[in-house]
Amino acid sequence: MKLLEDMIRENGTVLPGEVLKVDNFLNHQIDPNLMYELGGAFKRLFADAGVTRILTVESSGIAPAVMAGLQMDVPVVFARKHKSLTLVDNLYTATVYSYTKQVSNDISIDRRFIKPDDKVLIIDDFLANGQAVQGLMEIAAAAKVEVAGVGVVIEKSFQKGRQMLEDAGIHVEALARIASLENSQVTFVQD
């Protein structure tokens, strides 16, 4: 998506460890007009998927997920992060290792917010090694609902997340695909 690639080129900075910082439009300050466009792109890409609900993880997945939910007219549920859980009876829970923070968090969704006949679209800000998406897929499996696909704003294609999801037969769409962050330069995958 050209609009998003331009924003990344103009505003993104590359941090050590091949981390892309995009905190002035996605991860801290949020550009609502851009988010709305991203939501429309997800709607087009998953138009035939029969999506009934969107799942994401707090906090940076929420903005694009809400805009996709608005455009697709489906509810959005974000998994909450917990350090430790004592009361798990009414929750679906998975453990996720965070690439950027290098810690494991439990994420959980209240059972009331996933219905048995749901077809869920998983949305997140970044796809790197696929841990966050994997956690949401575990929750979807525990809830016995179908995963219609995975939509991410930015995919770091040099990490293994997409391959892992495609190997599992998942429909993956990324609005920007980064081939490399070497030498602090952002290089996009050529279509």
- Contact residues: ligand 5GP, CB under 6 A: 19-22, 27, 60, 98-100, 124-132, 156, 161
Least Cβ distance, residue 147 to ligand 5GP (angstroms): 15
Return the number of the residue (116 or 169) whose C-beta is nearest ligand 5GP.
169
Least Cβ distance, residue 150 to ligand 5GP (angstroms): 10
Least Cβ distance, residue 48 to ligand 5GP (angstroms): 26
Q: Is 15 annotated as a binding residue?
A: no
| Gyration radius of the chain's alpha carbons | 16
Sign of CA pseudo-dihedral 80, 136, 142, 144: positive
Q: Is 129 annotated as a binding residue?
A: yes
Return the number of the residue (91 or 137) whose C-beta is nearest ligand 5GP.
137
Which residues make Cβ contacts (< 8 Å) with residue 55, sequence separation at least 6?
65, 76, 77, 78, 79, 109, 114, 120, 121, 122, 123, 136, 139, 140
Q: Could you write out the three-class secondary structure of 13-57?
A: EEECCCEEECCCCCCCCCCHHHHHHHHHHHHHHCCCCCCCEEEEE
Least Cβ distance, residue 169 to ligand 5GP (angstroms): 18
Q: Which residues are annotated as a binding site for 5-phospho-alpha-D-ribose 1-diphosphate?
A: 128-132
Binding-site positions read 20, 27, 128-132, 156
